[in-house]
């Protein structure tokens, strides 16, 4: 089959337009598809992460490392995060200061371990769950 330069140019242009169209569709669908996959993972992990968060805040209060107003604010942020996850609201998740909250989850895990309620293996598993949850929250907060 003999192709003329015009035919080849037309085929190349058609291919380029097809690639551009697919890329455009994928970029438009990207944020939507990300939120569809990220929110369920965060929703599933939140109850356990929240339990450790509240445990850490309570331990901070008990040990005198956290004043009551700060504890109340942290608890309010946790409630806001729970509502945002339930609503699958990216903007509301962005408004939550997860980097400030995350250390209190670690503290809750430490407190359970120190109190003998869990062993080192369970603590490691909880920390892995926390790391995955944190990564998921970071990804949700990065959705355009």
6 belongs to a structural domain: no
Structural domains of the chain, count: 1
* DSSP per-residue string spanning the chain: -PPPHHHHHHHHHHHHHHHHHHHHHHHHHHHHHHHHHHHHHHHHHHHHHHHHHHHHHHHHHHTTSS-HHHHHHHHHHHHHHHHHHHHT-HHHHHTS-HHHHHHHHHHHHHHHHHTTSS-HHHHHHHHHHHHHHHHHHHHHHT--
25 belongs to a structural domain: no
Is there a contact between 120 and 109 (Cβ–Cβ < 8 Å)? no
What pLDDT is attached to residue 2? 59
Domain range holding 51?
31-141
- Tens digit of each residue's pLDDT, the chain (144 residues): 555 554 444 444 343 334 333 333 334 445 555 667 899 999 999 999 999 999 999 999 999 999 999 999 999 999 999 999 999 999 999 999 999 999 999 999 999 999 999 999 999 999 999 999 999 999 999 986
Q: What is the CA radius of gyration of the chain?
A: 23
- Distance from CA of residue 99 to its chain's centroid? 11
65 belongs to a structural domain: yes
Q: How many residues does the chain have?
A: 144
What pLDDT is attached to residue 36? 75
24 belongs to a structural domain: no
């Amino acid at each position: 089959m003999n192709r003329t330069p015009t035919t080849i140019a037309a085929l190349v242009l058609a291919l380029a337009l097809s690639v551009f169209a697919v890329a455009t569709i994928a970029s438009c669908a990207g944020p939507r598809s990300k939120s569809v996959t990220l929110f369920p993972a965060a929703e599933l992990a939140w109850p356990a992460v929240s339990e450790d968060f509240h445990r850490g805040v309570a331990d901070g209060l008990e040990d005198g490392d956290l004043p009551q107003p700060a504890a109340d604010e942290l608890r309010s942020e946790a409630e806001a995060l729970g509502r945002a996850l339930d609503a699958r609201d990216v903007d509301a998740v962005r408004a939550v200061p997860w980097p400030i909250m995350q250390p209190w989850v670690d503290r809750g895990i430490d407190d359970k371990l120190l109190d003998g309620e869990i062993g080192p293996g369970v603590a490691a598993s909880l920390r892995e769950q926390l790391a995955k949850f944190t990564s998921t929250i970071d990804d949700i907060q990065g959705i355009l």
